Structure 1
Amino acid sequence: MSTRRIVFVVGSGRSGTSTMAGTLQTLGLHVPQPEVAADATNPKGFGESQWVVDLHHELLRRSGVQVSDARPRAWLDAGKLSADHGVRERVTAWLEEQFAVADELVVKDPREAWFLGLWRACAARCDAEASYVTMLRPVTEVVGSKQKYYDTAQGGITRTAAWVNMMLGTERATRGEPRRFVRFADLLADWTQPVFGLGEAFDLHAVKTAMAVDIAKVHSFIDPTLRRVTLTWDDVQVPARLRELAQETWDVLDSLADEGGDNEKAHEVCDQLRAAYAEQYAEAEAFVASTTLAARRTGAAEARAELARAGEAGGRRAVDRVPHAVRAMVPASTRQKLRKALERRER
């Protein structure tokens, strides 16, 4: 039986994933180096491999998916790259390099959930047992924490919707696999209960044989004041229907952390909520269709003007002087016609 183990720490950003990854690392699991440096938003460190973060940035860009993407179809877009042969070869080769360092790895990144199929397949190629820890924190606290520490480009409505999409999608993607759900509050209150439970459930040698000195280090590492944002629905203004859906999602996910709570009845509720969210999102898209079309027309007009200005400037090929972000705003069919027109002018 293989002694190789990978623990994937998943869940929404700002839900305690860094604390869990750091705890497992302190007890002896290996976080592939180099790591993402700690900063003011996470002074204790992220417990993230830079290589993993860079990979996910690349894959998200290629698939057109955001880190916190509220679109139900984002799972399909990201999943297409998970089956890419070249990507799987790269990840498998990287994992083999890490297993040359240690038999038990912890891989964590908030972007990871979009590509769990990729990681699962590559773990199997390396003859490694994969397991999943989903961190749970009330949606209002997650949204509030993101609003405090991240940019304000996304508002409370978008962040709440993205949380629902991410958490329900993650639950579905890990169903049937070795997994545990851990409340962030429980981790801060007494980390030994959930973490040593993980050690037994996932057969993690480093956790099961942790020395007193390692345990003492974790006690120093985990700071209850890390839960610096404790908001309620009174502090997060979202439409009533979305609020109800998000609360129901939290309630069922919270129950998965209970002993015996990860059962078929809870799975059925998650499926129903996922379908309800997809329906609600489709309705919202239909309502704003006119705004979307107007934005596209404006963007296309601005891009055409930029292309025209570039064509008049002379020098290197006009189409190549236009920034990629601007060219991307033009619909594909229009972009092709403009490219041909500009190339004819340059001949």
Structure 2
Amino acid sequence: MSSRRVVFVVGSGRSGTSTMAGTLRTLGLHVPQPEVVADATNPKGFGEPRWVVDLHTELLARSNVQVSDARPRAWLDTGTTSGDHATRARVATWLEEQLAVGDELVIKDPRAAWFLGLWRAAADRCGATSSYVTMLRPVTEVVGSKQTYYGQVGAGSDQGAVTRTAAWVNMMLHTERATRGQQRAFVRYGDLLDDWTQPVFALGEAFDLQGVKTAMAVDIAEVHKFIDPSLRRVTMTWDDIGVPARLRELADETWQALDGLATDDSASLQETCDQLRAAYAEQYAEAEAYAHSTVVAQRRAAAAEARRESGQPARSGADRVPHAVRALVPPVARQRLRRAIGREREA
């Protein structure tokens, strides 16, 4: 059996994925270099390979999908984009190069959830076993943290919270589905901060990670220094976040199901996730239907702005009909049409 292992740390951003990746790195797993540089939003580092982030950013742009996208159909778009032979070969070649550096890799990027099929195929091609750690953090804390560190989305805080809550539901439920049937574990961020040794050493046994199972005392001491309970800097509740009741209820039910998977990855909870995913798709379709007029209006405004910038005069529907064709319409009929559309000529 191959000793090659690739551990994918997945889940929504701001849910402890960086802490988990950093912990596994400290215990001896290899994070492909160079890494994304730490900043004020994540002072301990992201644990993200730069090459992986750049690849996912490119694929998301080609798919017209955001990092945190609330649209259920976005999964189809990213799957289509990443399914071509050239992309698969490119990822497999890079992964083979990294496995030559270390037999046990940890790959973390919040964008990775959109492309798990691509990575699984690459790992299989390299003869490596894929494992998945999904980090769990209450949705209100995830959304609150994003609001705090990434700013608002749209015209107001409520709009930002709604968008991010919906994206969390979409991301987490589809990640659960994409990792089902694979070697996986769900880890609560709170458990990682309270006593990291329990969930991490359990992962070492479950995934047969030699870096974790044979960790030296000095490595364990370094992880104790790395994990700081104060990392959980944002703790919010629904009282702090303005989200419609229906979405809030769906998000709460999603959290309860996922939280349950941390201790019981059972078929019944998986079925609950399927039901929640279907309910979310239905709720999102209703929201799209309600917002259709707004979307159309925005498209018209964008088209008008583009015409103004190009110096082209605005043209009505009637103006776009050739004069020779308009002349064939009887005068009385033309007057009635003008009256109907509010363009009746003055006497």
TM range, smaller chain: 0.7 to 0.9
Q: How does 1:104-123 map to 2 (within 5 A)?
A: 104-123=104-123
Give distance in 2, aligned partners of 1:76 and 1:82. Answer: 10
Structure 1 position 15, deviation (Å): 0.1
Q: CA deviation at 1:237?
A: 1.1
Instruction: Supply the RMSD in Å over aligned alpha carbons.
Output: 0.8
Query: Aligned partners of 1:187, 1:139: CA distance in 2, in Å?
Result: 17
1:234 match: secondary structure: helix
Question: Which residue type is aligned with residue 302 of structure 1?
Answer: E
How far has the Cα of 1:195 moved from its partner?
0.3
Match of 2:204 in 1: 199
Number of residues paired by the alignment? 307
| Aligned counterpart for 1:240 among listed residues 233, 237, 245 | 245
- Aligned partners of 1:305 and 1:257: how far apart in 2? 55
Q: Quote the residue 1:317 is aligned against.
A: none
C-alpha distance in 2, partners of 1:172/1:255? 15
Percent of pairs with identical residues:
76
Q: How many angstroms apart in 1 are the aligned matches of 2:299 and 2:187?
A: 42
- One-letter code aligned to 2:12: S
Q: Distance in 2 between matches of 1:59 and 1:212?
A: 41
**Which residue type is aligned with residue 148 of structure 2?**
K
In structure 1, the residue matched to 2:287 is 284
Q: Could you give the per-residue CA deviations for residues 178-205 of structure 1, whole angstroms, max 9, x where no partner exists?
A: 0000000000000000000000100101
Letter in structure 2 aligned against 1:299: A
Equivalents in 1 of 2:14, 2:182: separation in Å? Answer: 24
Describe the SS at the equivalent of 1:180.
strand
Q: Unpaired runs of 5+ in structure 1?
A: 310-347
> What amino acid maps onto 1:180 in structure 2?
A
Q: TM-score, normalised by structure 1?
A: 0.87
Once the 2 structures are TM-superposed, how far is the Cα of residue 100 of structure 1 from its aligned partner?
Answer: 1.1
Cα distance in 2 between the residues matched to 1:265 and 1:235: 32
Match of 2:61 in 1: 61
- Residue 303 of structure 1 and its aligned partner are, at CA, apart by 1.9
**Residue 308 of structure 1: how far off its partner (Å):** 4.3
Question: Rg larger in 1 or in 2?
Answer: 2
Please give the alpha-carbon distance, in whole angstroms, between the structure 2 residues aligned to 1:48 and 1:151. 22
Give secondary structure in 1 for the equivalent of 2:240.
coil
Q: How does 1:1-347 map to 2 (within 5 A)?
A: 1-153=1-153, 155-258=160-263, 261-308=264-311
TM-score, structure 2 as length reference: 0.87
Distance 2:182 2:245 in 1: 34
What SS does the aligned partner of 2:8 have? Answer: strand
Q: Distance in 2 between matches of 1:116 and 1:285?
A: 27
**How far 1:236 moved relative to its partner?**
1.0
- SS of structure 1 residue aligned to 2:105: strand
Pairwise CA distance, 1:304: 3.0
Q: CA deviation at 1:301?
A: 1.9
Q: What secondary structure sits across from 1:210 in the alignment? A: coil
Post-superposition offset of 1:233: 1.0
One-letter code of the match for 1:284?
Answer: A
Distance in 1, matches of 2:170 and 2:202, equals 28
CA distance in 2, matches of 1:105, 1:250: 29
Q: Which moved more, 1:300-309 or 1:180-189?
A: 300-309
1: CA distance, partners of 2:34 / 2:187: 27
